[in-house]
Amino acid sequence: QVQLVESGGGLVQAGGSLRLSCAASTRRFTVMGWYRQAPGKQRELVAAIAVIGGPKYADSVKGRFTISRDNAKNAVYLQMNSLQPEDTAVYYCNVNGEKTGYWGQGTQVTVTS
């Protein structure tokens, strides 16, 4: 079974930073990314990165978040800067896309005013 282990969430004041990490059990995934789901809202793509094609970001996080991957560690990261209360959500690591991929258990990010 594919296993994705997430870490790095927490409580932070507006303007602060967090770095999310996700370690995958295999290196067979071309696309890795992060989704988030806030209370009362649908899950949305935050950022994704592939071997070829470069990173992609939701408009709401461009310029603030940076996604990266370390293939040697089977890991994907999300550096989140200038966090705002609207970024509060459960963040989920994903590999191989939303429809057919696999998910981490989620890590809570809470940003206070």
pLDDT tens-digit series, residues 15-59: 999 999 999 987 667 899 999 999 999 999 999 998 777 899 999
Contact 69, 81 (CB under 8 A): no
For range 1-22, the mean pLDDT: 96
Assess whether pLDDT exceeds 90 at residue 109: yes
Beta strands across the sheet bearing 4-7: 4-7, 18-24, 75-80, 65-70
Contact 90, 36 (CB under 8 A): yes
* Strand positions, DSSP E, 1-113: 4-7, 10-13, 18-24, 31-37, 44-50, 56-57, 65-70, 75-80, 89-95, 102-103, 107-112
pLDDT, residue 72, reads 84
